[in-house]
Amino acid sequence: MIRVLIVEDDPMVAEINKRYLTSIPEFTCVGVVSDVSQALLFLERKPADLVLLDIFMPGKNGLELLTEIRKKEKSIDVIVISAANDIQNIKKSLRLGAVDYLIKPFEFERLNSALRMYQKEHEFTKEQEELTQEDLDKLLLYQNKTDLISPQLPKGLTQKTLRHVVNSIFEIKSKGFTAEELAGKVGITRVSIRKYLKFLTEIGFLSIDLSYGTVGRPVNQYYLNERNTKRVEIYLKAPGI
């Protein structure tokens, strides 16, 4: 499991990044802090493999944290996620060893790709003591890195059924639906459909609300987030799922 610390002063952005992160298997959020001082204290007390780092924060900026990490020679990687789009900050981040740089606002697919790329490199380098030139080129050259990205569905989900579920949801469009209603439309059990609904909700493709009827217990009502429909595409296009 890859341990990730989120350093972000905006609570809403931090929560969104945490949700993005935890929707991807093999990553776990070990903490969320809002400034550099808290981040340094956290990293002294608890281990982390990766930091998702904002630049503009109260007090010291994120690049000062990145500088401290490098000075102390900590085995921690950093992905910068910032609204800073000026070439000076971008160049400095990369010179200090940031493994990727995302400019806010960004699509889920971009963060997913960054984390998947990092995961492949993390696993590969952990298993190797020496590298051939061919192996090194795959790690260094961006055009080769993209071939390493392999988004995965949670265990028990298949691409074929996911596509059927997504197509059925698009047919329903903006109208809300229950798990039972969708299960009947797709033709699978309610237990199975709930697994797909849980995944689609976690990546933001669906939203969920409680519906209170006149009789009986409240039920979950699902709605398509029309602004986030692209978030499922990477899982439908990925080969070998």
Asked if residue 225 and residue 138 are part of one domain, the reply reads: no
Whether residues 58 and 127 share a domain: the answer is yes
Q: Are 4 and 30 a contacting pair, CB within 8 Å?
A: yes
Nearby residues of 120 by Cβ (< 8 Å), 6 or more positions away:
148, 149, 150
For residue 140, the 8-state DSSP code is H
Q: pTM to 2 decimals? A: 0.61
* Amino acid identity, position 199: F
DSSP 240: T
Question: Do residues 36 and 102 share a domain?
Answer: yes
Question: Is residue 219 domain-shared with residue 100, that is, in the same domain?
Answer: no
**Same domain as 141, residue 54:** yes
Give yes or no: residues 66 and 144 share one domain. yes
Q: What CATH number does the domain containing 137 carry? A: 3.40.50.2300
The candidate with the shortest Cα–Cα distance to 180, out of 167, 191, 166, is: 191
Spatial separation of the C-alpha atoms in residues 183 and 192, rounded to whole Å: 8
Per-residue pLDDT of the chain in tens (241 residues, 90 and over written 9):
899 999 999 999 899 899 888 888 889 999 999 999 999 999 999 999 999 999 999 889 999 999 999 998 888 999 999 988 888 999 999 999 899 999 888 877 788 888 888 888 887 777 677 777 777 776 665 444 444 444 567 788 999 999 999 999 998 876 789 999 999 999 999 999 999 998 898 888 888 887 765 566 778 899 988 877 877 887 886 544 3
| Cα 71 to chain centroid, rounded | 28
CATH code of the domain in which 208 resides: 1.10.10.10
- End residue of a domain, out of 100, 125, 148: 148
What's the domain range around 177?
Answer: 159-237
